[in-house]
């Protein structure tokens, strides 16, 4: 069985960067952890791979406001829990292997209590001095590895 490649993206704030699309080409699935703002972002991503999306605090336009606040999906034999703000991650995460969040715009890949936490950072407009990034998750034989991909310095 080949490794499953999952693109993790967040906080695009209505901006689809060509660099983000290039980095996501060839993935098996894309997870967007919120703050999409306009449906066009999802339309562009959906042309690359199947999508799982949650809404963020800035997703107030009608076209994105009805998106779910959290998602639980199984990919490559592992279970992912997706929510925009890490503050909304429940204390008890039974049966979850990977937690994907956004909101802070700060990229993070960290093991905590046997769980892999990934925040792909923001692939949208520049904010403060934070990098423009997304993350790639590789799942193979029940193990997951994530790495941050900086799109623009």
pTM, 2 dp: 0.96
> What is the pLDDT of the chain when averaged over all its residues?
95
The tens digit of pLDDT for each residue in 75-125 reads 999 999 999 999 999 988 999 999 999 999 999 999 998 899 999 999 999
79/112 Cα distance (integer angstroms): 15
pLDDT at 126: 86
The pLDDT of residue 8 is above 90: yes
115/105 Cα distance (integer angstroms): 20
Note the residue count of the chain.
153
> Could you identify the residue written with the tokens 């199947």?
50
Ramachandran angles phi, psi of 85, nearest 5°:
-105, 125
> Where does the pLDDT of residue 31 fall: very low under 50, low under 70, confident under 90, or very high at 90 and above?
very high
CB-side exposure of 37: number of CA atoms within 13 Å?
13
83/80 Cα distance (integer angstroms): 10
119/3 Cα distance (integer angstroms): 21
> Where does the pLDDT of residue 1 fall: very low under 50, low under 70, confident under 90, or very high at 90 and above?
low
The pLDDT of residue 129 is above 60: yes
> Where does the pLDDT of residue 71 fall: very low under 50, low under 70, confident under 90, or very high at 90 and above?
very high
75/72 Cα distance (integer angstroms): 10
20 secondary structure, DSSP code: H
- In the chain, alpha helices (H): 18-24, 39-46, 62-65
pLDDT at 45: 97
Whether 31 contacts 6, CB under 8 Å: yes
Domains identified in the chain and CATH numbers: 4-152 (3.60.21.10)
What average pLDDT does this structure show over 40-54?
A: 97
């Amino acid at each position: 069985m080949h490794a499953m490649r999952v693109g993790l993206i967040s906080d695009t704030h209505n901006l689809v960067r060509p660099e983000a699309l290039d980095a996501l080409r060839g993935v098996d699935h894309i997870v967007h952890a919120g703050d999409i703002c306009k449906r066009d972002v999802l339309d562009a991503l959906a042309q690359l791979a199947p999508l799982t999306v949650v809404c963020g605090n800035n997703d107030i336009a009608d076209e994105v406001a009805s998106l779910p606040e959290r998602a639980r999906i199984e990919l490559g034999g592992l279970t992912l829990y997706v929510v925009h703000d890490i503050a909304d991650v429940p204390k008890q995460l039974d049966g979850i292997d990977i937690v994907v969040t956004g909101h802070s715009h700060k990229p993070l890949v960290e093991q905590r209590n046997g769980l892999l936490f990934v925040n792909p950072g923001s692939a949208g407009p520049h904010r403060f001095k934070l990098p423009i990034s997304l993350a790639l998750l590789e799942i193979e034989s029940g193990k997951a590895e994530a790495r941050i991909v900086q799109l623009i310095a």
